[in-house]
A and B are shown apart, each in its own frame.
Chain A
Amino acid sequence: MSLDTRTTPRVAGSSPAARGPRRRLHTMNVVSRYSFVLPAVVFLIVFMVYPLVYTVNLSLFDVNAGNFLSGGAPFVGLENYADFIGSPQFVPSLVITLVFTVGSLIFQHAIGFMFALFFNRGFPLSGLLRALMLVVWVMPAVVSASLWRWIFSGSYGLFNAFLGVFGISSTEPWLVNPNTALAAVIIANIWLGIPFHMMLLYAGLQGVPVQLYEAAQIDGASAWQRFWRITVPMMRPVIVIALLLGFVHTFKVFDLIYVMTAGGPAGATNVLSIEVYKLSFEYFRFGDGAAAANILLIIPLLLSILYLWLRRREDSTQ
């Protein structure tokens, strides 16, 4: 039932006489092929590999204000890592980061999925509305963060005014209360992340063949069944990619939280990225900061590797 109609390449049966010029052609091909890749490779080396190597190197030395510029920082091996993991801030920070990431991701994804399904129905002006939703995502995080800071402020906050509509009189400063600050920051981040998930899922939905739904409908499947039995299985790769990318860039969110609470009140929103920033740029403990940055990097990296590994195993069993 193969639809493959490609013919067997003729090169395979070429005569020895034609080999000379062809080889030259082949070399040129190789050169031109690599030259296409070159800009990307240079870019990666300059902007990704070099900073990474530099940070790893930095994390192995006790670099601080006294020797950052003059040099001569002593080599301390993995001590910076041990210090950071052993510091009283580490475990609470890690927990807060995970709560923030998972909390954001679940809602971003679920709500993004709903929007994607909604827009996939196609209605007048849906294209325009979809584009408008992207504005949220395009807006600089600092701007959104300032906006949300105002929304959640006590006496003149929009959220309290909104509660007032339902007869709930509140002057609760949401970002000041350690019990609500994290939730408030998560809500802001959910709002920020919905368009990203919506965009990916919407594009994925376009690829699900309509015939499947038609066939299911004829067989009497309900909308709920169609969603769980057709949409979700067909969309699985997109869902996984959206969740993975979402995890990676939520895990290292800095600007939003820094502007909204700067890690406060009393450390209630002190995610790892804020800790890294403080170590390097406020305390000038560059070695410790680099080690902390690498730990911040390793966690999403491990997750990405796990995903790629699962993906490969899945591909090979198919």
Chain B
Amino acid sequence: MSNQPTRGRTLRRLAITAALVVAGGSLAACTPGGGGDESSDAGSGPVTLTWWDYYAEGAASTQLQELLDEYQEENPDVTIQREFIAYADLKQSLLQSAGAGSLPDVVVINSPDHQQFAELGIAANLDERLAEWGELDQYAEGVIASATYDDSVYGLPISANCLALFYNTEMLDEAGLEPPTTWEEMEEVAAALTTGDTYGLAYSAVNNQQAVFQYLPALWQSGGDLYDLDSDEAIASFDYWAGLMDDGSVSQEALNWDQSMVAAEFGQGRAAMMINGPWQLPFLATEAPDLDYGVALLPAGEMEASVTGGENYMIMSGPNEDVAWDVLQFLQEPENVTLMNVAGGSLPTRNDIDPFPDNELIGTFTEQLQVALPRAYGPAYAEIADQVVVALQARLTGAASSSDALSAAAQAIDPLLP
């Protein structure tokens, strides 16, 4: 019995310790991120620009650093502090820094996210500066459209791309097949190329926007659109896209693959074809230098279609806008754009340059670009895309039929579309 009080005390102490531990854990999870930004002097004095991008180590990152170094050498007053922010954290970090009033000065952003930040009012309106600069007509309309919100332009492109079909030349030759040009041919060729450990086709159906990026061409090829997602056309596109997985021509693992993992599967010969973009060309060149492959246009359904994507430079509103604009102008000089396009595997972002003379693969992508559409679905695109992913994954896993999955998604996205 003399034990009773000791036990009570031990328990209480235990409870307190446990409570503290739990509280500590949850606090650690919300440590604010975001870098500081010291300079407020927009005049002639030394200026430090904070620069955010999500480029992992690679050709594009190195090239960008070289250009920024060059700029800083020519402009000793300007220091550019480059910070890596993981793509998945970018939106949250930008919001936090906006809330804390310490925005970075330049951010590299995925083009469909650009309008969302323009709507938020933290991106700098470039209209006047662009008018004075006078080079905007050197850019494709679709590329500038992704950086446009309410008729004002908020950024310039760093890269542009579209999706096309990569094929393993060796595997197709062995099977005596040509790259498919229609949906029916795609179904046949993909099935024929599926043998043992190799799948006929690889695409990404991962649980984020990338899956929608990959699927949208199929929707447009059917003649459908997100505005009318429960149409027969949309159902046909779902049946085609998911049918490739039903047939076993696409691995079920595609639901966990982002586009870089799709490229890795293709590079290692575990997929005979893949749907992907030109930014994988530098990756394949370094990681699979012996791979013999070609690029063809996406197979057509009722019509031909692809999707455009890319990344933009976004200048954030703040005291350093002018300096940031000067850096941006430097980066948009034709020879610098050429360097960045080559390093990043980007289609030419300016009309007056030719970064890849006589490159057949890039030539196919450029041809594909003629029928490629942008994801111009307004600032709520992120939420729209999420609903489409849920529908897509429900169909791919057999949890719902095409029409059930699509009518649920159509209902959910209806109020979100512009």
Contact = CB atoms under 8 A, between A and B. Distances in A.
A47 interface: yes
Given A65-B116, A70-B121, A261-B207, A88 B251 contact: no
B26 interface: yes
Interface string B315-354: 0000000000000000000000000000000000000000
B14 A264 contact: no
A189 B196 CA distance: 35
Given A69-B120, A173-B256, A203-B10, 6 more contacts: A69-B121, A173-B252, A176-B256, A178-B394, A267-B394, A281-B95
Interface residues of A, number: 49
B382 A176 contact: no
A249 B26 contact: yes
B27 interface: yes
A164 interface: no
B390 interface: yes
A189 B302 CA distance: 47
A103 interface: no
Contacts of B208: 262
Contact of B253 (A173, A208, A252, A268): A173
Nearest to B394: A266
Given A282-B91, A283-B380, A207 B10 contact: yes
Interface in B279-299: none
B217 to A, nearest CB: 21
A154 B265 CA distance: 14
B399 A154 contact: no
Query: Shortest 10 CB-CB distances between A and B: which pairs?
Result: A264-B207, A266-B393, A266-B394, A176-B255, A207-B7, A283-B383, A262-B207, A265-B393, A281-B92, A65-B119
B243 to A, nearest CB: 17
A154 B380 CA distance: 34
B113 to A, nearest CB: 10
Contacts of B256: 149, 153, 173, 175-176
B15 interface: yes
A70 B99 CA distance: 11
Contact of A153 (B11, B253, B383, B400): B253
A3 interface: yes
Interface in A60-95: 65-66, 68-70, 88
Given A65-B119, A265-B393, A282 B383 contact: yes
Interface in B243-260: 251-253, 255-256
Contacts of A242: 18
A176 B390 contact: no
Interface in A240-278: 241-242, 245, 248-249, 252, 254-255, 261-268, 278
A265 B397 contact: yes
Given A3-B2, A155-B253, A284 B120 contact: yes
A282 B14 contact: no
Contacts of B390: 264, 266-267
A142 to B, nearest CB: 10
Interface in B121-151: 121-122
Contacts of B412: 88
Given A65-B116, A281-B91, A204 B14 contact: yes
Nearest to B208: A262
A185 B251 CA distance: 21
A52 interface: no
Contacts of A265: 207, 255, 393, 396-397
Contact of A283 (B15, B382, B397, B399): B382
B25 interface: yes
A209 B3 contact: yes
B22 interface: yes
A241 B207 CA distance: 36
Interface string A197-208: 000100110111
A177 interface: yes
14 contacts: A1-B1, A68-B120, A69-B120, A154-B252, A176-B253, A178-B394, A178-B397, A178-B399, A249-B26, A264-B389, A266-B393, A267-B393, A278-B386, A284-B116
B6 interface: yes
